[in-house]
């Protein structure tokens, strides 16, 4: 989930394909505590680890017209929607005005208030804004990082 959120944040909408090396660089730059050598994994993210992680959610790299290996933004849209990172799109009936026929579905984004999220659970850490993945972290509203800022917040809570 962290990877999907960081990929969405680091990938401009107008960029349809990103080289795998560039994507790794952007992830590390965006969230170094999670993707660089200071991460719990102990090593910086690599292109190979990125690929192995993404293939688990059925996203595979491809080559562009310049023979560069990378990822197409369109391949992430379904995963981003299913994860609630971007709003779901649902068909609605056409209004009758315009050029759409009666059989042509019109798509409108679902309002963020319509997404299902427990009211008591937080999704980001109140100290560092890192995504909260563990149920205990979500309930507490703070991630598991061990540093003076996080420790002070835990004591205060």
Give the model's pLDDT for residue 115.
40
Higher confidence at residue 130 or residue 12?
A: 12
Judge whether 153 and 127 are in contact, CB under 8 Å: yes
**Torsion over CA: 5, 11, 17, 18 (sign):** negative
Nearest-angstrom CA–CA distance, 46 and 33: 15
Q: Which helix (H) or strand (E) holds 90?
A: strand 89-92
- Read off the pTM: 0.55
The residue assigned the tokens 């409108």 is: 108
Give the model's pLDDT for residue 105.
43
> What is the rounded radius of gyration, in angstroms, for the C-alpha atoms of the chain?
19
Nearest-angstrom CA–CA distance, 119 and 139: 10
Using one digit for the tens of pLDDT, what is the confidence trace for 7-44?
A: 998 888 899 999 999 999 999 999 898 999 888 888 99
Kindly state the percentage of the chain with pLDDT values over 70: 76
What residues contact residue 24 under an 8 Å CB cut-off, 6+ apart?
35, 45, 46, 47, 50
Give the model's pLDDT for residue 88.
63
Query: What's the pLDDT band for 45 if we cut at 50, 70, 90?
Result: very high
Nearest-angstrom CA–CA distance, 128 and 107: 35
Using one digit for the tens of pLDDT, what is the confidence trace for 132-141?
A: 777 777 778 8
What are the structural domains of the chain? Answer: 2-82 (1.10.10), 119-157 (no CATH)
Average pLDDT, the chain: 78
Using one digit for the tens of pLDDT, what is the confidence trace for 71-108?
A: 999 999 988 888 888 866 544 455 544 444 444 444 44
Give the model's pLDDT for residue 113.
42
Query: What's the pLDDT band for 119 if we cut at 50, 70, 90?
Result: very low
Higher confidence at residue 7 or residue 142?
A: 7
């Amino acid at each position: 989930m962290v990877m999907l959120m960081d990929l969405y944040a680091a990938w401009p909408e107008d960029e349809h394909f990103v080289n795998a090396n560039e994507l790794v660089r952007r992830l590390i730059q965006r969230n170094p505590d999670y993707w660089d050598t200071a991460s719990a994994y102990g090593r910086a993210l690599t292109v190979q680890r990125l690929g192995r992680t993404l293939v688990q959610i059925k996203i595979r790299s491809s080559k562009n017209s310049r023979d560069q290996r990378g990822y197409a933004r369109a391949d992430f849209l379904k995963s981003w929607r299913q994860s609630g990172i971007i709003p779901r799109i649902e068909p609605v009936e056409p209004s009758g005005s315009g050029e759409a026929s009666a059989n042509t579905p019109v798509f409108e984004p679902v309002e963020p208030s319509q997404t299902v999220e427990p009211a008591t659970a937080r999704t980001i850490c109140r100290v560092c804004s890192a995504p909260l993945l563990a149920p205990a972290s979500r309930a507490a509203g703070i991630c598991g990082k061990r540093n003076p800022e996080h420790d002070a917040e835990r004591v205060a809570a």
